[in-house]
């Protein structure tokens, strides 16, 4: 059950992270008030979203880490987090930024990531 909680928290965390890191690019296109914000305002806006990312990321790592009774080593947690990040980012990009498309090299990179997950969990 700890593995499931960890993965769910990592997914939620990465949704917030993706919006914090890349959402401002779309908001600048969509909202004139946001486009008028100075860079420091955009940074503050992104940090306010990132608070929620950290509010999920930290518990995910605490619950999931083997040293706290969880099922994952640090290396496994990191690889899981990176794969989840790229999946969330890909969905975000293809849904919100219509001009972005997946190409064969992106698929090849994802296959490499799946292999990375396989190898990091291999005993």
pLDDT digits (tens, 9 = 90+) for 54-97: 999 999 999 999 999 999 999 999 989 988 998 898 888 888 88
Residues 30-48 have pLDDT tens digits of 889 989 999 999 999 999 9
pTM of the model: 0.84
Please state, in angstroms and as integers, the Cα–Cα distance from residue 2 to each residue in 72, 73, 114, following that order: 9, 13, 22
């Amino acid at each position: 059950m700890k593995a499931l909680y960890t993965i769910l928290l990592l997914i939620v965390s990465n949704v917030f992270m993706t919006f914090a890191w890349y959402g401002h690019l779309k908001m600048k296109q969509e909202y004139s008030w946001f486009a008028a914000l100075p860079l420091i305002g955009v940074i503050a806006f992104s940090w306010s979203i990132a608070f929620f990312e950290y509010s999920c990321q930290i518990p995910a790592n605490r619950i999931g880490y083997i040293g706290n009774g969880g099922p994952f080593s640090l290396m496994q947690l990191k690889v899981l987090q990176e794969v989840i990040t790229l999946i969330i980012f890909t969905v975000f990009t293809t849904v919100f930024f219509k001009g972005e498309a997946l190409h064969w090299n992106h698929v090849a990179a994802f296959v490499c990531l799946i292999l990375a997950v396989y190898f990091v969990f291999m005993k």
